Structures are given as C-alpha cells and as structure tokens.
Amino acid sequence: MISVEQLKLLIHLKQYGVADKETCHLFVSDNALRPLLRYKYISYHDWVYRLLKKGAEETAHIQPLVTVNGNPGVIERALKTSRLAALFVKLGIQSAGVLRDNVFIPSNKWREIRKGVLSTARFNGMLIHNGIKLAVYDIGRGNMDWQAFAEGSLFYQKYGNYQNQPTGMLLVCDGDPIGIAEQILRYTISNRKALMKRTRLETDKKWSYSTGPIRLRPNYERVYITDTGGLAETLRMAECAKKFVDYFMEYLHGTDGQYGYDVDVHPMRYFVNPQGDLLKFAKCFDTVKSNVKYNEAVKASGKPAPQVDYHMILSQKYERIVKMYDLPFSYTIVKDSFIQEMLYGTDSEEH
C-alpha cells in the first residue's frame, strides 16, 4: 500500500507528466521512491520520472494539467513548471486549471482563462495567493532570451477583467538573486528610453517575436526575484507591499506619490521598497536620471532648478542594488526585526 506522500507524488506526475529527481525529493525520500519504481507505478528514463499505467489507476480522479510529448524543448519546459508547482505544494499552494485563491495555474491553462495573451515559452504559470496574482518564471541563472512584448501581453487589460488581471511577476532563479537582479536592471536601464515609457504599453500592432536579455517594463506592475530557499519569504513580502507603503506614509505624514514613487513629503519623494521590487528600483533609477537631466537643462537656461530630493527605503539584502549607479539620491536601510514584525507580527515604531 502506498503512503500519503507517495500518493502526492503520483498526483503531481498525473498533473504535470514529468518530474526530475530534485522535484520528486520534494515529496518523498529515495527510500520511498524506490518501491514506486520497483512495483511499476512510475518509470525513470533519461533522468526523467513519468507515470505508468498502475500509477495512473491510483490517480484516476485527477485531471492532467500539462500535456508532454517527446519534444526535448517541451519536456524541459514541463520539468521547470513541474518543479515550481512542487515548490508551491510545499507552501500549501495546490495546482489547478481554474481561477480561485491559493492556486498555481500552469501557463497553458492560464491562456484558456485569459484569452488573447501572446504565446511565450518562458511563462510557467500564474500564482494566485492571498490577493496577489504573480506571473511565475523559472529563469535559471538569468541567461535566457526574453520576449518583452509577449511577456508584457500577460498584463494587457484588454485580455481579461479585474478578477484575472496579474498584479506582478515572480522570477525564480538558481544562484545569486541579487547578482541576477543587477544584470536585469543594467539591461533595463541601458534601454530605459524605450523600455520605461509609460505610454503605448498596449497596442493592436502585430509584434515580431524578437528576443533579448531579461528586461523590465512598467506594465509588469511589480517584479520580485528569489531563489527556491527564499520563496516563502518573498511571497510574504509581496503580500505586504502595500502595508509597507501605508506604514511609512503615516510615519512620514506624507501623501500619495506619483510617477512611480510612493510617498511625497515635499521636497522629499520616497520609494518604499523593503520587499525588493525590481521594477521599483528601475523606476527610481529612471526618475532620478531624468531629474538630473531636467535640472541641467533648467540651469543651462539660467533659471533655478526646482528643489526635489529622492530617497529609497529598503532592506539590507538589497543595498548592493541601490549602489549600482552613482546617482544623487539617498537611502535608508530598515532593520530586519522591523521587517519581521511587519510580515508576521504587529507594527513596530522602531525602524
């Protein structure tokens, strides 16, 4: 008789078709995996585990979510999606093909829900959890071709409604998340005149599928990056993003910001970013660079430049990012204890 953990693995293989050894170990140990192979519940070939007829009979009530053929590219993508789904199961988030809370929906099922989005092989699925909807990508070490307009179409308002409108993007990487984040931001800021435009993000124009390094656009809303070990905390940070802004707006006695910044306390404009939103870093760099250029033009005309200062509030782990460019803005690092209180406890006055 199979155990509950073994049954969970069989269900996962029924939903996603394939899994690698690392993914299987998220459900069972080697000692529990070997009987499934011995008694023909699953097979192992070319480093990939698949469900056999006996395993399919045990999970007859489960509907497959992903169809996998023999194409190596399809298998590789399915393995990535399978791994992400297994990680979410460990966090209590199940997989499904329907729109509801606390669920991971693979990309093919999401396109059935939100019809019209452009096809892309990079998007793994949509995570819906505690009010946030994040387009999830397994980006490995960040060295992948990125179809900027195809990925952006996931966020087009014309392809759905409020209930299925994504609120951000989650990049799951292997290696150093901060180093990969710096790489993404460099590509974005080096092309910021084209990428960071706030107009014409949605269009009926037929796009050519040109590719390039991962780069950000404003309609991604929020972009978080993490490795598998930091996944739970990153999701909690994403859920509390508005809570951080509300806290500092009250603490600083400020008003709602505009053009990407969060809190306005003239002459200071604050970007509140303890959660490490990469798009907020990009907006900060873009805004400050534009402000420097504007001030230079005003001074060249013989007029006094307006007094506006920018400031970012962030956590210690993202200090490397804020130091990427030598720009005239300041920053404050909030204590880890304050962040933990905001995420899991009561609000704290000490920061």
Walk me through the domains of the chain, giving residue ranges and CATH numbers: 1-68 (1.10.10), 91-238 (no CATH), 240-344 (no CATH)
Question: Which residues 6+ apart lie within 8 Å of 186 measured at CB?
Answer: 324
- The whole-angstrom separation of Cα 148 and Cα 213 is 9
Q: Which of 85-89, 121-125, 145-149 has the lowest mean pLDDT?
A: 145-149
Please name every residue paired with 129 in a beta bridge, in sequence order, or none if there are none.
Answer: 132
- The whole-angstrom separation of Cα 340 and Cα 163 is 30
Question: Which residues 6+ apart lie within 8 Å of 69 measured at CB?
Answer: none
Tokens standing for 202?
């949605």
Tokens standing for 172?
């799951």
How much of the chain is in helix, strand and coil states, percent to nearest 5? Answer: 45, 20, 35
Question: Does residue 277 carry a pLDDT above 90?
Answer: yes
DSSP state of 118: P
| DSSP three-state, residue 262 | coil
Compare 324 and 347 and report the one with higher pLDDT: 324
pLDDT at position 272 is 96
Mean pLDDT of 228-240: 95
Evaluate if pTM is beyond 0.75.
yes
